[in-house]
Amino acid sequence: MRVLVTGAAGMLGHRVVAEARDLGHTAIATDIDDLDLTDDAAVIERVAAESPDAIINCAAYTDVDGAEADPGTALRVNADAALNVALACQSAGAMMVQLSTDYVFSGDADRPYVETDEPAPRTAYGSTKLAGEHAVIGSGADWAICRTAWLYGAGGKNFVDTMLTLAQDHDEVSVVTDQIGSPTWTGHLAPALIEVAERGARGIHHLTGAGQCSWYELAIEVFHTAGVHCRVLPTTSEAYARPAPRPAYSVLAGERDDAIALAPWQQGLAAYLSERVPA
């Protein structure tokens, strides 16, 4: 398979490129320095020249708080650029695999969100990612939308690294107990995205580490697995005022007959820590 990966310099994108090549595929890596996805003509030209079988769109505006202050930029990257890529896919006969997020939901459920649940975003970030979903669906391309959450991995800012960095200078950290989700390692998500493309598995997919926990519980597991001595103190979201509200409950689950199951989040964390090079 010939796959073009956008956002290939990012935390997820570079892992998708590496995993695709390890699996014997031809992976073409692109990022903003060589392809501006908001330039529709440039996208059409590049995709036509590369002639991929699939495009995995890892490019996104992911600054949740920044999107509240600059929703226009977030919309251009998360929706307009996604449409450009999807239209290029449609023209080239390639499959579009679009990354999306738990933030398309309101975050107030009492059970895991499945693919058929109605989105109701509460943030600018979530709204622009949902607009991207709608753009891809309406593009005429063969598409798959893969929602994920609580992502971490090498090559990008993430909660796991933040905790380990804090522990270098602090004997204790305070972490919220009232936000629940499913931590997802890029090393597990990347091959799942490639499998979606390989199978031509159209439609919406929920792809997160199996199981759920709070940020507080995740911090405890991080320190325990890493062998770091740092006490974790419970606190609530009220103590951390942010421009964008965080979902209280953002666990995703798959109800598809052909659902791709990721390993339990604890396994992903252990694997990440075993390959992580300390900063």
End-to-end CA distance of the chain: 35
Tokens of 15: 């892992």
Residue 125 CB partners (closer than 8 Å, separation 6+): 61, 62, 63, 64, 67, 68, 74, 78, 101, 103, 244
Please tell me the distance from the alpha carbon of residue 95 to that of residue 143, in angstroms, as a whole number. 6
Contact (Cβ atoms closer than 8 angstroms) between residue 217 and residue 224: no
216 given a catalytic annotation:
no
CA 157: distance to chain centroid?
13
Q: Exactly one of 61, 103, 113, 125 is catalytic; name it.
A: 125
Contact (Cβ atoms closer than 8 angstroms) between residue 2 and residue 52: yes
Rounded alpha-carbon distances, angstroms, from residue 266 to 12, 210, 275: 19, 9, 15
Residue 83 CB partners (closer than 8 Å, separation 6+): 132, 135, 136, 139
Please tell me the distance from the alpha carbon of residue 80 to that of residue 88, in angstroms, as a whole number. 13
Please tell me the distance from the alpha carbon of residue 85 to that of residue 77, in angstroms, as a whole number. 11
Tokens of 63: 């600054």
Which H or E element spans position 188?
helix 186-199
Active site residues: 125
